[in-house]
Chains A and B, each alone.
Chain A
Amino acid sequence: DGGITQSPKYLFRKEGQNVTLSCEQNLNHDAMYWYRQDPGQGLRLIYYSQIVNDFQKGDIAEGYSVSREKKESFPLTVTSAQKNPTAFYLCATGGGKVEQFFGPGTRLTVL
């Protein structure tokens, strides 16, 4: 069954902690993306990667980091430098076709 999986579905973080959100795809797509979604706003691009071992900052990269060691995986780390991390995080792929395909999302809450 092809698709994009994100885990965990819900994540709670204490102040000062780093947390890592997982995104895995078996669509064989070259490009992968991380977006942040806040209530009443559109999706804002955090990072994207067009190929393995390469990635670019999006519009709101501060306080986040990523890696792309495998084509199938694009984990996002939310660092303690991100002052307001509570949001819904969406991973997407692209490059196979013109449109993007989205995972189910991870909701991160800071306690």
Chain B
Amino acid sequence: AQSVTQLDSHVSVSEGTPVLLRCNYSSSYSPSLFWYVQHPNKGLQLLLKYTSAATLVKGINGFEAEFKKSETSFHLTKPSAHMSDAAEYFCVVRPSGTYKYIFGTGTRLKVLA
């Protein structure tokens, strides 16, 4: 069965320091992978996506993620956190050939001044 595991439910970083949000997945075939961000009481916004092209994916607002098939990971990084990055982040998998999306339970990022 396909699944997504976000390894940290909460992450705190100081402003200006690097961000690492971890995601591991299991999927039978080559999946599509996504990171979304959600601010309080808002919908989800796409940060970036992997669809079997380059394994290092650049997204909006300075975020990037690396697809590592051998480790079944898709960790999200940013070199320098900004206060506006404080939000909830979801890792999502879409198995090949399906219309369904599988969501992780989310990681709440807190940015300290």
Contact = CB atoms under 8 A, between A and B. Distances in A.
Size class of the contact patch on chain B:
20 to 34
B99 A102 contact: no
Q: SS class of chain A's interface: helix, strand, loop or mixed?
A: strand
B103 A48 contact: no
A98 B42 contact: no
A63 interface: no
Interface stretch (A13-21, A36-44, A68-76, A78-86): A36-44
A43 B100 contact: no
Nearest to B94: A98
A52 interface: no
Query: Which interface residue of A4, A45, A98 has the most chain B CB atoms within 10 A?
Result: A98
Interface string B66-99: 0000000000000000000000001010100001
B14 interface: no
Q: For this complex, into which size category does the number of interface residues on chain A fall?
A: 20 to 34
A40 B4 CA distance: 15
A103 B43 contact: yes
Interface string B6-41: 000100000000000000000000001010100001
Contacts of B55: none
Interface of B: 4, 9, 32, 34, 36, 41-46, 49, 51, 90, 92, 94, 99-101, 103-106
29 contacts: A33-B101, A40-B9, A40-B105, A41-B105, A41-B106, A42-B90, A42-B103, A42-B104, A43-B44, A43-B90, A43-B103, A45-B100, A45-B101, A48-B100, A88-B41, A90-B43, A90-B44, A92-B44, A94-B99, A94-B101, A99-B46, A100-B44, A101-B46, A102-B36, A102-B44, A102-B45, A103-B43, A105-B41, A107-B41
